[in-house]
Every structure is written in C-alpha cells, then in structure tokens.
Amino acid sequence: MHRAIRLIVAAAACLAMAAPAQALDGAQLFKKKTCWACHGKDAKTPVMPNYPKLAGQNAAYALAQMKDIKSGARNNGQTAAMKGVMHLVSEEEMQAIAEWIATLK
C-alpha cells in the first residue's frame, strides 16, 4: 500500500514539473484590466493628451511604474486614475502587460 502511494505521489510530482506554466497573455490582460480605456486599444492613442502612449515602452520601466503607482510610491496627478484600477492587477499580470507593451511599435 505504501509503495502505491509513493508511486502516485512521484507520478504527480513528475507531471507537475513537466507541465509548463501557462504564460499570461499581456494583450488580453491589457483589455481585461481596462488599460485600453485610457491608453487606447492599441496602447498608442490615449484618450487624453496628457496620458502616456505605452506602445514600445521599456518593459522594466513600465513594470516599475505600475508597481510604484500601486504601492503609492508614485503619487502625482497623473496617477490618480490608475490608482483606482491597480488593486485589480497582480504583479505577475503587470509583468505580462509590461512585456506585451514593449513588443508594440
């Protein structure tokens, strides 16, 4: 009996290690988390002239900005609108969005 349990546990562990983690889709998250509502569906045409164009932005920079806005480290007039939505976005989702934004031209 113990041997059977050990085999099942070992098989489950092998399957868990072999299964690749599903990557988050930054483009889908950009839509789902409502980023497009202010920054434009293409991340290039913001609805207000003072909102940044995000397409092509450096991923590390974009991620740092999102994290700073969420934590409150960045807290100026431009962050008020984003502060209200950033609680809906996990760090892993921020990373996926930042990486997707960086691929845009």
Helix H, strand E, coil C: the string for 41-84 is CCCCCCCCCCCCCCCCCCHHHHHHHHHHHHHCCCCCHHHHHHHH
The pLDDT of residue 2: 59
- Write out pLDDT tens, residues 85-102: 999 999 999 999 999 999
Q: Taking the CB of residue 100, how many other CB atoms lie within 10 A of it?
A: 22
Residue 75 has, within 13 A of its CA and on its CB side, a CA count of: 4
- Average pLDDT value for residue range 20-24: 66
Give pTM, 2 decimals. 0.77
Is the pLDDT at 9 greater than 90? The verdict is no
CATH of domain 24-103: 1.10.760.10
- Write out pLDDT tens, residues 62-93: 999 999 999 999 998 878 889 889 999 999 99
Is the pLDDT at 19 greater than 80? The verdict is no
